[in-house]
Amino acid sequence: MTELRSLLPRDTLLWILVVQAAVLLPYALTLPWWVFACWIGVTYWRLQVYLGKWELPGNFVKFVLILGCTAGLILTFKRWYALEPLVTLLAVAFTLKNVELATRRDAFFIVSLAFFVAATHLLFEQGIPQAVYALGCIVLATAALLAMNSPASAAAPRRTLKRAGKMLLQAVPLMLILFIVLPRLGPMWSVPQTGGEASTGLSDSMEPGAFGKLSKSARPAFRVTFADGMAPPAPPERYWRALVFSHFDGRKWTQGHRVDPLLGGKVYWKSRREDIDRSGNARHYQVILEPTRQTWLPALAQPESDTRGVGEKPENLLAYIRPVTKRMAYEVVSWPGSAGIAAGAGLSEVEREINLQLPSRGNERARALAESWRKDGMDAHEVVQAALGEYYQSFVYTLNPPVLGRDSVDGFLFESRAGFCEHFAGSFVYLMRAAGIPARVVTGYLGGEWIEQQNYMIVHDFDAHAWAEVWLPGEGWTRVDPTAAVAPERVLDGLQNALPEEFRAEDFGLIEFSHIGWLNALRIQWDMLNYRWYRSVVSFDADQQEGLLTRLLGEVSGRRIALALGSVFGIALVVLAAWLHLINRGKPAPRPERLYRRFCQRLARAGLPREKGESPRDYALRICRVAPHWGGMVNSITAAYEKAAYFDDSTAEQQLARLLKTFWPASRASVQEATS
- Active site members: 421, 465, 481
Calculate ∠ Cα 543-549-554, nearest 5°. Answer: 120
Q: Which of 444, 448, 476, 592 binds other proteins (CB under 8 A)?
A: 592
Q: Which of 344, 359, 405, 590 binds other proteins (CB under 8 A)?
A: 590
Q: Which of 597, 625, 658, 668 binds other proteins (CB under 8 A)?
A: 597
Measure the CA–CA gap between 544 and 554, rounded to whole angstroms. Answer: 14
Q: Which of 92, 113, 499, 645 binds other proteins (CB under 8 A)?
A: 645
CA distances from 40 to 43, 405, 600 (A): 5, 53, 70
Q: Which of 253, 445, 596, 630 binds other proteins (CB under 8 A)?
A: 596
Side-chain-side CA neighbours of 503 within 13 Å: the count stands at 18
Nearer of residues 460 and 610 to other proteins, judged by Cβ: 610
Which string of x and - marks every residue 533-572 that binds other proteins (by CB under 8 A)? ----------------------------------------
Nearer of residues 199 and 615 to other proteins, judged by Cβ: 615
Nearer of residues 452 and 648 to other proteins, judged by Cβ: 648
Measure the CA–CA gap between 332 and 284, rounded to whole angstroms. Answer: 6
Measure the CA–CA gap between 473 and 379, rounded to whole angstroms. Answer: 10
Q: How many residues bind other proteins (CB under 8 A)?
A: 21
Measure the CA–CA gap between 96 and 246, rounded to whole angstroms. Answer: 55
Nearer of residues 279 and 615 to other proteins, judged by Cβ: 615
CB of 616 to other proteins, least distance (A): 7
DSSP string computed for 488-514: HHHHHH-HHHHSHHHHHHS--GGGGGT
Nearer of residues 415 and 618 to other proteins, judged by Cβ: 618
Report if residue 233 touches other proteins, rule: CB under 8 A.
no
Nearer of residues 249 and 618 to other proteins, judged by Cβ: 618
Measure the CA–CA gap between 96 and 491, rounded to whole angstroms. Answer: 58
Measure the CA–CA gap between 566 and 575, rounded to whole angstroms. Answer: 14
Calculate ∠ Cα 338-339-340, nearest 5°. Answer: 135
The CA radius of gyration of the chain, in Å to the nearest whole number, is 38
CB of 621 to other proteins, least distance (A): 10
**Binding region for other proteins (CB under 8 A) out of 11-19, 45-53, 402-410, 644-652:** 644-652
Contacts for 645-649: CB closer than 8 Å, 24+ residues apart: 645/590, 645/592, 645/593, 645/596
Nearer of residues 568 and 600 to other proteins, judged by Cβ: 600
Q: Which of 304, 469, 642, 653 binds other proteins (CB under 8 A)?
A: 642
Measure the CA–CA gap between 511 and 447, rounded to whole angstroms. Answer: 15
Nearer of residues 189 and 647 to other proteins, judged by Cβ: 647
Output the 3-class SS for 654-665.
HHHHHHHHHCCC
**Binding region for other proteins (CB under 8 A) out of 226-234, 421-429, 544-552, 594-602:** 594-602
CB of 9 to other proteins, least distance (A): 23
Measure the CA–CA gap between 524 and 293, rounded to whole angstroms. Answer: 26
- Residue 419 DSSP symbol: E
| CA 264 to centroid of chain Cα atoms | 25
CB of 649 to other proteins, least distance (A): 9
Report if residue 647 touches other proteins, rule: CB under 8 A.
yes
Q: Which of 152, 505, 565, 589 binds other proteins (CB under 8 A)?
A: 589
Report if residue 665 touches other proteins, rule: CB under 8 A.
no
Q: Is residue 256 within 8 Å of residue 314, measured between CB atoms? A: no
Measure the CA–CA gap between 428 and 441, rounded to whole angstroms. Answer: 9
CB of 606 to other proteins, least distance (A): 18
Q: Is residue 97 within 8 Å of residue 53, measured between CB atoms? A: no
Q: Which of 593, 601, 654, 673 binds other proteins (CB under 8 A)?
A: 593
CB of 600 to other proteins, least distance (A): 7
CB of 609 to other proteins, least distance (A): 12
For the segment 85-124, give every residue that binds other proteins (CB under 8 A): none
**Binding region for other proteins (CB under 8 A) out of 103-111, 529-537, 584-592, 652-660:** 584-592
Torsion of CA 43, 49, 55, 57, to 10 degrees: 20
CB of 66 to other proteins, least distance (A): 47
Side-chain-side CA neighbours of 79 within 13 Å: the count stands at 10
| CA 416 to centroid of chain Cα atoms | 45
**Binding region for other proteins (CB under 8 A) out of 29-37, 296-304, 523-531, 583-591:** 583-591
Measure the CA–CA gap between 213 and 4, rounded to whole angstroms. Answer: 58
Q: Which of 179, 646, 651, 667 binds other proteins (CB under 8 A)?
A: 646
For the segment 600-639, give every residue that binds other proteins (CB under 8 A): 600, 611-618
CA distances from 63 to 59, 73, 100 (A): 6, 15, 12
Report if residue 377 touches other proteins, rule: CB under 8 A.
no
**Binding region for other proteins (CB under 8 A) out of 55-63, 167-175, 225-233, 595-603:** 595-603
Closest CA to 285 of 243, 233, 242, 244: 233
CB of 4 to other proteins, least distance (A): 24
Q: Is residue 220 within 8 Å of residue 111, measured between CB atoms? A: no
Nearer of residues 221 and 645 to other proteins, judged by Cβ: 645
- Positive or negative, the CA dihedral 550, 554, 557, 563 is negative
CB of 6 to other proteins, least distance (A): 22
Measure the CA–CA gap between 366 and 209, rounded to whole angstroms. Answer: 20
Report if residue 648 touches other proteins, rule: CB under 8 A.
yes
Q: Is residue 233 within 8 Å of residue 283, measured between CB atoms? A: yes
Nearer of residues 550 and 615 to other proteins, judged by Cβ: 615
- Residue 314 DSSP symbol: T
CB of 645 to other proteins, least distance (A): 4
Nearer of residues 70 and 615 to other proteins, judged by Cβ: 615
**Binding region for other proteins (CB under 8 A) out of 43-51, 290-298, 498-506, 591-599:** 591-599
Measure the CA–CA gap between 266 and 261, rounded to whole angstroms. Answer: 9
CB of 630 to other proteins, least distance (A): 19
**Binding region for other proteins (CB under 8 A) out of 185-193, 370-378, 522-530, 587-595:** 587-595
Nearer of residues 374 and 602 to other proteins, judged by Cβ: 602
Side-chain-side CA neighbours of 419 within 13 Å: the count stands at 35
Closest CA to 446 of 456, 425, 461: 461
Residues lying near other proteins in the complex (CB under 8 A) are found at 586, 589-590, 592-593, 596-597, 600, 611-618, 642, 645-648
